[in-house]
Amino acid sequence: KLFGKRLLQAGRYLVSHKAWMKTVPTENCDVLMTFPDTTDDHTLLWLLNHIRVGIPELIVQVRHHRHTRAYAFFVTATYESLLRGADELGLRKAVKAEFGGGTRGFSCEEDFIYENVESELRFFTSQERQSIIRFWLQNLRAKQGEALHNVRFLEDQPIIPELAARGIIQQVFPVHEQRILNRLMKSWVQAVCENQPLDDICDYFGVKIAMYFAWLGFYTSAMVYPAVFGSVLYTFTETDQTSRDVSCVVFALFNVIWSTLFLEEWKRRGAELAYKWGTLDSPGEAVEEPRPQFRGVRRISPITRAEEFYYPPWKRLLFQLLVSLPLCLACLLCVFLLMLGCFQLQELVLSVKGLPRLARFLPKVMLALIVSVSAEGYKKLAIWLNDMENYRLESAYEKHLIIKVVLFQFVNSYLSLFYIGFYLKDMERLKELLLVLSLSQSLERQLRAVLVPLAALRFRLLLLSLRGLLLAARAKVRAGGEPVGPRRGGQCGCAGGLARRAEGACAEGIWGGGRPASRCRRLGTHTAGCTGRACGGVETRWACPG
User: Phi first, then psi: what are they for 202, rounded to 5°?
Assistant: -65, -40
- pLDDT, one tens digit per residue, over 332-387 is 999 999 999 988 888 888 888 877 877 778 888 888 888 888 988 999 999 999 98
Domains of the chain by residue range = 12-175, 283-472
**Whole-angstrom distance, CA of residue 498 vs CA of residue 42:** 8
User: For residue range 195-230, what is the model confidence (pLDDT) as tens digits?
Assistant: 999 999 998 998 899 999 999 999 999 999 999 999
pLDDT at site 423:
87
- Eight-class DSSP state of 140: -
CA 291, 296, 301, 306 torsion-angle sign? positive
Residue 515: predicted pLDDT: 38
What whole-number distance in Å separates Cα of residue 203 and Cα of residue 181? 12
Share of the chain above pLDDT 70, in %: 81
Amino acid at 500: R
Parts of the chain with a pLDDT under 70: 1-27, 281-287, 479-546
Instruction: Give the amino acid at 69.
Output: R
| Contact assessment for residue 495 and residue 72, using Cβ atoms and an 8 Å cutoff | no
Amino acid letter at 4?
A: G
Please tell me the total number of residues recorded for the chain in this structure.
Answer: 546
Tell me the CA distances in angstroms from 220 to 213, 270, 446, 447, 485, one per residue in order. Answer: 10, 15, 17, 21, 54
**d(C-alpha 93, C-alpha 116), whole Å:** 10
Identify the pLDDT of residue 19.
55
Q: Which DSSP state fits 292?
A: T
Q: In angstroms, what CA-CA distances link 230 with 118, 247, 456?
A: 55, 9, 41
CA distance 414 to 419: 9
Q: What burial class does residue 171 get, using C-beta atoms within 10 Å of its C-beta: 0-12 exposed, 13-18 middle, 19+ buried? A: exposed
356 vs 350, 361, 427, 545, CA distance in Å?
Answer: 10, 10, 22, 79
Residues 6 or more apart whose CB falls under 8 angstroms from that of 64 comprise 70, 71, 72, 495, 510, 511, 512, 513
Angular region, 60: left φ>0, alpha ψ -120 to 50, beta rest: beta
The CA distance from 505 to 61, in Å, is: 6
pLDDT at 28: 80
Cα–Cα distance, 525 to 382 (Å, whole number):
52
Q: Which of 486, 314, 482, 474 is nearest to 389 (CA)?
A: 314
Torsion, Cα 47 50 55 56, to 10 degrees, reads 110
**At 408, is the secondary structure helix, strand, or coil?**
helix
Contact 428, 420 (CB under 8 A): no
**The predicted structure's pLDDT at residue 304:** 79
Those residues whose C-beta lies under 8 Å from the C-beta of residue 72, and which sit 6 or more positions away, are 32, 33, 34, 35, 62, 63, 64, 65
- Report helix, strand or coil for 539: strand
| pLDDT at residue 513, as a whole number | 38
Residues 6+ apart with CB under 8 A from 425: none
Find out whether 320 and 389 touch, Cβ atoms under 8 Å: yes
At 66, the amino acid letter reads R
**346: enclosing H helix or E strand:** helix 325-351
What is the SS3 assignment for 93?
A: strand
Sheet of 58-64, strands arranged across: 58-64, 71-77, 31-34, 171-174
Closest CA to 64 of 469, 485, 508: 508
